[in-house]
Structure 1
Amino acid sequence: MDDLKGKVVLVTGASTGIGAACAKAFGALGCKVAVHYNSSKAAAMAVAEAVEKAGGEALVVQGDLRVSAECKRIVTETVKRFKRIDVLINNAGALVKRVPITDVSDEIFDDIVGLNVRSMMMCTKYSVSHMTRGGSIINLTSIAARNGGGPGASLYAGSKGFVSTATKSIAKELAGRQIRVNAVAPGVITTPFHDKFSTPEQLEAMRLTIPMARLGTADECVGAFIYLASEKLSSYVTGQIIEVNGGQYMP
């Protein structure tokens, strides 16, 4: 989209999966992309290289988004380089570990909720003052926010439920500033997330519940983000959750 060329896009968790696919796609549209990562430096550098080869400009920023001060620093580094933020994609998040409710500890609670909830809230908090009219915030939620997720995923599903609900609340808060806030809710997508947390048998069982009879890919999620980022395409869209799940869940 021509209205996205030159826009500054901060993508958290951009080293792999959906975040990496988004960063590359925005780079191909001529955006200035801040590629955030926590531990996967080599993968983040490869994404940044792909962004620049596609015609965009890239900045690689590292930080643990479970820590509020790190969220602030990442936003500050992005603004120092690119002067503003036009699009914030709160993509960072993870299941972390499948844990039955009887085994939930303070440590695992803090890890999961911090990564999925604090990162979104605090990156949004610190980015808003650097956004102007026409800005777009896009949060990554999940089909798990709708159906509770799989075994041992209560904290993950609950944290994504928070993201979905908070998206609507923040959208109301920022509407007067002409900053739109929406979310994308992927279904079963073939990313390192499922490589780590789902067995082949579990993935096959999930596939059988999908009307399109296949799992999705990270690239198939990208269009929703581009649509929500583009004021030309979605200037009157805020507080919405776009489901990308092959028909597995139809609200």
Structure 2
Amino acid sequence: MFDFSGKTVVITGGSRGIGAAAVRAFARAGANVAFSYNKNYKAAMELAQKCERHSGSVFFAECDVSVYTEVEPFLQKVEKKFGVPHVLVNNAGIWNEASFDTINVDIWRKMLQINLDSVFYF
């Protein structure tokens, strides 16, 4: 990994899975890491505590990335704490196991809001 000392990295969906791995990797590389989570505060807190040993600083906040009115305040908090981010990892995403012929419009919209709209918001 590279040296990210003094750099700020924002990771969406950072509390578990690939997002959590990215949080850990950038923290080990010395970055100030800001990540969003949607529901699991406990997982986010545990990850932040582990990573603070390696990173300049870690910030996390609940943010539904599919809702623009939640994204803007999240980014403002990140900028207030660390300044303008240098790196963005648009990781948040969902998949529904329903087959195409059984999927309904509500599931389809939620997948598009999280997987597509959120990328535009950041």
State the TM-score, normalized to the length of structure 2.
0.92
The Cα offsets for residues 12-49 of structure 1, whole Å up to 9 and x where unpaired, read as 10100111011111111111000210001111111111
Distance change in 2, residues 1:19/1:90 (3 Å): same
Number of residue pairs matched by the alignment? 121
Give the structure 2 partner of residue 90 of structure 1. 90
Q: Aligned-pair distance for 1:56?
A: 2.8
| 1:94-126 superposed Cα distances (whole Å, 9 cap, x missing partner) | 11x212222222211111111101111111xxx
3-state DSSP of counterpart to 1:53: coil
Q: TM-score, normalised by structure 1?
A: 0.46
Tell whether the 8 Å contact from 2:33 to 2:55 is kept in structure 1 after alignment.
no
For residue 100 of structure 1, what is the aligned residue in structure 2? 99
Q: CA RMSD in A?
A: 1.2
1:102-141 correspondence to structure 2 within 5 Å: 102-123=101-122
Where does the alignment leave 5 or more consecutive residues of structure 2 unmatched?
none
Q: Aligned partners of 2:76, 2:105: CA distance in 1, in Å?
A: 30
**Structure ranking higher on relative contact order (CA contacts 8 Å, 6+ apart):** 2
Q: Is the 8 A contact 2:32 2:55 kept in 1?
A: no
**Which range moves more in the overlay, 65-74 or 33-42?**
65-74
Q: Distance in 2 between matches of 1:102 and 1:41?
A: 35
Alignment gaps of 5+ in structure 1: 124-251
Distance 1:13 1:62 in 2: 10
**Rg larger for:** 1
User: Any conservation in 2 of the 1:13–1:92 contact (CA below 8 Å)?
Assistant: yes
Contact 2:59 2:78 in 1 (8 A): yes
2:68: which partner in 1?
68
2:42 matched residue in structure 1:
42
Aligned ranges 1:88-237 → 2 under 5 Å: 88-95=88-95, 97-123=96-122
Letter in 2 for 1:107: D
> Structure 1 CA distance, aligned partners of 2:61 and 2:80?
12
Is the counterpart of residue 17 in structure 1 residue 23 in structure 2? no
Amino acid across the alignment from 2:47: V
Q: Distance in 2 between matches of 1:103 and 1:77?
A: 40
Structure 1 or 2: more helix by fraction: 1
